[in-house]
Amino acid sequence: MEQDSKIITITFSENESKDAMKFMEKHRKCCQKILGKPVFSTTGGGFSYIITPTGLGNCIIIKCNSCGKEKDITDISNW
């Protein structure tokens, strides 16, 4: 069975990008403290984004994969 592949792109607002960068800066040292490693991995993976589409816009959560903390960075002013 052949499926049509589609590309999904998510664009962050300036506020969402700033909030994500602040969160990553705050959690940059989690790997060293929690996992005892200098970096999460050589290919990244220290952070995940959880995107939940709604009828109004996308809810965006960033998660630190070392300590498990999450932050909602959704900028609803773009909806």
Mean pLDDT calculated for residue range 55-75: 93
Here the tokens at position 10 are: 């998510």
55, burial (CB in 10 Å: exposed 0-12, middle 13-18, buried 19+): exposed
| Cα 27 from Cα 44, distance rounded (Å) | 14
Mean pLDDT of the chain: 85
What is the model's pTM? 0.77
- Is residue 3 very low, low, confident or very high in pLDDT (cuts 50, 70, 90)? confident
Q: Three-state DSSP class for 52?
A: strand
pLDDT tens for 27-55 read 887 767 666 666 655 555 789 999 999 99
Select the more confidently predicted residue: 2 or 59. Answer: 59
- Is residue 8 very low, low, confident or very high in pLDDT (cuts 50, 70, 90)? confident
Q: Which residues of 57-79 are buried (b: 16+ CB within 10 A; e: fewer)?
A: ebebebbbbbeeeebebbbeeee
